[in-house]
């Protein structure tokens, strides 16, 4: 008998098995071929597929379809169209054509485009990405699509992601062919994103304007217990959370998402969900859906899921570890060191290319994870610092050192590391003591990029990873293909790469202050904030790189730069306005009321001559913090006004970084002090204690 999981898995996905069942044999074969070769779908096939898709969707109770796409801001977008069409005699028929499957024309004007549509063409269209299956969500048939302008500019995240996968496929194929793997036809990148999030009780959430408007707490004093006992991590999952998780798993499985592990995280109320890895563009679609479902399913359980990178000050933030590798269609993981000298040599080429790519493009990797929210997290002793470095572990580092210095490797047996001739020692694959402070860690057969924030789309960082790695592999392939003596050229290439780029390798504690100094002396970048990082996007070298790899055009880079800078400014502007609102209407009046209660008591008590120490000292403190808070509020208010007068997106972002953020911190401080002295009864919203420990 099939288990419930086997039965429901993929039940809402128009996947290969459904296609095989619903499509005529040759239609299915043609579709398969188009998908494999990444070609355009011809209209005859499209009509047949659309018909089958519609029949299947109707069986599942769907009435509408949508082109589901990922605009340049983090969310996904959909516009629902009915299958319904009028027929003769006032009846209706349900229709869906190949044309409607392949191409849609959403009203593109309301999506941010960073000047692209203004300069070029006003309309945009969506086009089916047949490599990602259609699925049913909320009774709507969703067709994963790319979103472009009529002049061919990508207005979304999927298009450049697919282009970057093509770039890496093309270059990596050249390398594996050099190693005689002629049977390989495609190489795809694979990703398994670990998703962290917080769960809070909906009734408390609804009393926090800061969570409602900004997704994070803008005020809040630490509560008596934090995460110091680490008792939440791998602790038992509370029953309410467990029920939510089972429900969530069911929903994810129906969509064919391989949700695999779930556990508590270090911080109270923090959890993690990890799927089994899959091809990058599908992993990206799935992660967007996962984030949506986490939030939707939580609501059903009276919970609210916070996907913000740093919902609580002083408590760990949430990340999204991007585990990635490269895999051939013959099933070989190219970051698996392998067992033979031959496999080892090929592994070392990819490893060296990645080391070089990460060292040379620290700027791009950093900016691929730059958001206002993630700025709070990176470098806050809970997540990797804003400095990019690679963790390889002691064994692999020692091997590379031996290669570089042409000295025997000092493992169990002393061996001269001759690439292609000696076998590499075994590296521990999943040792639990591995370095969790590194932003970019080799974990035995894959790399884990740990900087992305929890609410980011993984498209951004994977576009960059694929592009920079493809570019280095291309250079390597050029050298190796032209070599007279393959073995000596290969050896020299790897040796030189290690020598020139070893500064990026760091196995020590990334949370340690001494690393910041050390990194500086190694010449590594330390881009602390989003506006520090983003301008690197549009340097001449980086634009040339994206154009060379055919991932983004100059205009597409410029538009993304504008959108990201703008998003940063807008996000913090909303936070500043929310702070002003809460401070003015809730915190200061509450503290003032409390102060009146105290002074009333003082007057009354004085009359009968009893001790007034508590009331007097507290009233004094309240009035001192009130004044401090009020002054900070006025400063923030004035600076926000000034911000609104700036009409240049770059200047606005820098102004936010240099003034608004500081003003916000200055306002938070006295307000949090007020929370500590004010009576619970008078405090206007739930405290950290309630938010973090009530489920």
- Residues lying near ligand ADP in the complex (CB under 6 A) are found at 190-192, 194, 261, 274-277, 321, 323-325, 333, 445-446
SS3 128: strand
Q: To which residue do tokens 């459904």 refer?
A: 18
> Tokens for 661?
């953020």
Number of residues lying near Mg ion (CB under 5 A)? 2
User: In whole angstroms, how close is the CB of 595 to ligand ADP at the nearest point?
Assistant: 49
CA distance 56 to 647: 51
Angle between helices 458-481 and 280-300 (to 10 degrees): 170
CB 281, min distance to ligand ADP, A: 13
- DSSP lists the bridge partners of residue 319 as 453
> Which of residues 30 and 194 has its CB atom nearest to Mg ion in the complex?
194
559 binds, among Mg ion, ligand ADP, none (CB under 5 to 8 A by kind): none
Taking the CB of residue 38, how many other CB atoms lie within 10 A of it? Answer: 14
Pair of tokens at residue 348:
């070392």
First to last CA, the chain: 37
* Residue number, 248 or 273, with CB nearest to Mg ion: 273
**C-beta closer to ligand ADP: residue 232 or 673:** 232
| Residue 446 interface partner, choices ligand ADP, Mg ion, none, CB cut-off 5-8 Å depending on type | ligand ADP
Residue nearest to ligand ADP (CB): 192
Nearest alpha carbon to residue 404 among 334, 475, 501: 501
How big is the chain by its Cα radius of gyration, in Å?
Answer: 28
The kind and range of the H/E element at 102 are: helix 98-102
Q: Among residues 308 and 450, whose Cβ is nearest to Mg ion?
A: 450
Residue 375: CB minimum distance to ligand ADP, A? 23
> Closest CB to ligand ADP among 83 and 277?
277
Shortest Cβ distance from residue 443 to Mg ion (Å)?
Answer: 8
Closest CA to 367 of 516, 503, 506, 527: 527
The C-alpha atoms of residue 301 and residue 306 are separated, in whole angstroms, by 14
54 binds Mg ion (CB under 5 A): no
Instruction: Report the partner that residue 396 touches, choosing among Mg ion, ligand ADP, none (CB closer than 5 to 8 A by kind).
Output: none
- C-beta of 334: minimal distance to Mg ion in Å? 20
Q: Which of residues 177-196 bind Mg ion (CB under 5 A)?
A: 194
Structure tokens belonging to residue 329 = 């269609």
Asked if 163 touches Mg ion (CB under 5 A), the answer is no
> How far apart are CB 465 and ligand ADP at their closest, in Å?
12
Residue 192 interaction partner, one of ligand ADP, Mg ion, none, beta carbon < 5-8 Å per kind? ligand ADP
Q: Which is nearer to ligand ADP, 153 or 321 (CB)?
A: 321
What's the chain's length in residues? 695
Report the distance separating Cα 393 and Cα 429, nearest Å. 10
Name which of ligand ADP, Mg ion, none residue 509 binds, using a CB cut-off of 5 to 8 Å depending on partner kind: none
CB of 323 to ligand ADP, least distance (A): 3
Q: Which does 104 bind (CB under 5 to 8 A by kind): Mg ion, ligand ADP, none?
A: none
The entry of ligand ADP, Mg ion, none near residue 261 (CB within 5 to 8 angstroms by kind) is ligand ADP
Between residue 384 and residue 403, which ones bind Mg ion under the rule CB under 5 A? none
CA distance 635 to 617: 27
Beta carbon nearer to ligand ADP, 215 or 275: 275
The interface region with Mg ion, picked from 317-325, 380-388, 593-601, 612-620 by CB under 5 A, is 317-325
Is the Cβ of residue 219 or residue 442 nearer to ligand ADP in the bound state? 442
- Beta-sheet pairing, 440-442 with 390-391: parallel
By the rule CB under 5 A, 321 interacts with Mg ion: yes
**Residue owning tokens 């100059």:** 554
Stretch that binds Mg ion, among 108-116, 316-324, 329-337, 680-688 (CB under 5 A): 316-324
Burial class (CB in 10 A: 0-12, 13-18, 19+), 458: buried
How far apart CA 3 and CA 469 sit, in angstroms, is 42
Closest CA to 387 of 463, 440, 433, 455: 440
Query: 321 vs 377, which CB is nearer to Mg ion?
Result: 321
By beta carbon distance, the residue nearest Mg ion is: 321
Residue 302 token pair: 């009276």
Sort residue 41 into left (φ over 0), alpha (ψ -120 to 50) or beta. beta
Residue number, 275 or 420, with CB nearest to ligand ADP: 275
Q: Which residue is listed with tokens 């067992």?
A: 339
> Toward ligand ADP, which CB reaches closer, 133 or 277?
277
10, interface contact from Mg ion, ligand ADP, none, CB < 5-8 Å by kind: none
User: Three-state DSSP class for 328?
Assistant: strand
Rounded to a whole number of angstroms, the minimum distance from the CB of residue 322 to ligand ADP is 9
CA distance 378 to 369: 10
**Residue span binding Mg ion (CB under 5 A) among the ranges 6-14, 27-35, 168-176, 321-329:** 321-329
Q: How far is it, in rounded angstroms, from Cα 446 to Cα 326?
A: 8
Query: Closer CB to Mg ion, residue 271 or residue 321?
Result: 321
Q: Tell me the window of 138-146, 318-326, 388-396, 685-693 that interacts with Mg ion (CB under 5 A).
A: 318-326
Q: Which of 107, 109, 112, 119 is nearest to 152 (CA)?
A: 119
Reference 249, options 308, 195, 205; nearest CA is: 195
Rounded to a whole number of angstroms, the minimum distance from the CB of residue 199 to ligand ADP is: 19
Residues in contact with Mg ion by the rule CB under 5 A: 194, 321
């Amino acid at each position: 008998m099939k288990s419930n999981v086997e039965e429901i898995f993929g039940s809402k996905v128009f996947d290969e098995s459904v296609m095989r069942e619903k499509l005529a044999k040759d239609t299915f074969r043609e579709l398969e071929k188009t998908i494999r070769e990444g070609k355009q779908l011809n209209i005859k096939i499209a009509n047949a597929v659309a018909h089958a898709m519609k029949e299947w969707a109707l069986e599942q109770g769907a009435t509408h379809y949508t082109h589901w796409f990922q605009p340049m801001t983090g969310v996904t977008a959909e516009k629902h169209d009915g299958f319904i069409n009028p027929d003769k005699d006032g009846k209706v028929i349900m229709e869906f054509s190949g044309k409607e499957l392949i191409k849609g024309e959403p009203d593109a004007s309301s999506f941010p485009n960073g000047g692209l549509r203004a300069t070029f063409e006003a309309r945009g269209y969506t086009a089916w990405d047949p490599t990602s299956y259609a699925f049913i969500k909320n009774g709507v048939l969703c067709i994963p699509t790319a979103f472009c302008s009529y002049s061919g500019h990508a207005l979304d995240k999927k298009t450049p992601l697919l282009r970057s996968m093509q770039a890496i496929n093309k270059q990596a194929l050249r390398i594996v062919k050099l190693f005689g793997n002629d049977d390989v036809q495609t190489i795809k990148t694979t990703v398994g994103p670990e998703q962290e999030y917080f769960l809070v009780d909906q009734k408390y959430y609804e009393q926090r304007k800061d969570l409602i408007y900004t997704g994070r707490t803008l005020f809040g004093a630490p509560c008596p217990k934090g995460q110091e006992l680490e008792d939440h991590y791998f602790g038992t999952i509370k029953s309410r959370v467990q029920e939510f998780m089972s429900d969530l798993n069911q929903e994810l499985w129906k969509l064919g998402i391989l949700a695999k592990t779930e556990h508590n995280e270090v911080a109270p109320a923090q959890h993690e969900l990890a799927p089994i890895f899959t091809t990058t563009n599908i992993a990206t679609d799935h992660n967007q859906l996962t984030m949506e479902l986490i939030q939707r399913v939580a609501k059903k359980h009276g919970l609210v899921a916070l996907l913000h990178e740093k919902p609580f000050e002083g408590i760990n933030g949430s990340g999204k570890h991007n585990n990635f590798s490269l895999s051939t269609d013959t099933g070989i993981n190219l970051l698996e060191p392998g067992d033979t000298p031959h496999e080892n040599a090929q592994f070392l080429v990819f490893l060296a290319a990645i080391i070089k790519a990460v060292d040379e493009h620290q700027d791009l990797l950093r900016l691929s994870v730059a958001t206002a929210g993630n700025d709070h997290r990176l470098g806050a002793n809970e997540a990797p610092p804003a400095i990019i470095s690679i963790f390889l572990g002691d064994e692999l580092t020692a091997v590379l050192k031996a290669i570089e210095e042409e000295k025997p490797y000092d493992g169990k047996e002393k061996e001269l590391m001759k690439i292609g001739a000696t076998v590499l020692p075994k590296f521990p694959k999943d040792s639990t003591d591995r370095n969790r402070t590194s932003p970019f860690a080799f974990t035995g057969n894959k790399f884990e990029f740990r900087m992305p924030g929890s609410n980011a789309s993984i498209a951004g960082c994977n576009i960059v990873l694929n592009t920079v790695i493809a570019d280095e592999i291309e250079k390597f392939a050029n050298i190796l293909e032209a070599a007279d003596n393959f073995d000596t050229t290969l050896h020299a290439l790897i040796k030189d790469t290690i020598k020139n780029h070893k500064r990026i390798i760091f196995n020590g504690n990334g949370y340690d202050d001494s690393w910041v100094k050390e990194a500086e002396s190694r010449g590594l970048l330390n881009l602390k904030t989003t506006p520090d990082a983003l301008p690197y996007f549009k340097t001449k070298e980086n634009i040339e790189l994206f154009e060379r790899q055919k991932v983004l055009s100059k205009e597409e880079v410029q538009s993304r730069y504008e959108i990201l800078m703008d998003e940063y400014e807008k996000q913090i502007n909303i936070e500043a306005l929310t702070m002003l609102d809460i401070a003015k209407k809730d915190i200061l009046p509450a503290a003032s009321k409390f102060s009146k209660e105290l002074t009333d008591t003082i007057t009354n008590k004085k009359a009968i001559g009893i001790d007034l120490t508590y009331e007097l000292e507290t009233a004094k403190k309240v009035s001192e913090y009130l004044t401090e808070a009020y002054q900070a509020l006025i400063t923030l208010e004035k600076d926000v006004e000034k911000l609104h007068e700036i009409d240049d997106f770059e200047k606005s972002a820098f102004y936010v970084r240099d003034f608004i953020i500081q003003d916000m911190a200055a306002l938070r401080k006295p307000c949090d002090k007020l929370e500590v002295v004010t009576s619970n009864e008078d405090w206007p919203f739930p405290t950290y204690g309630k938010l973090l420990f009530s489920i």
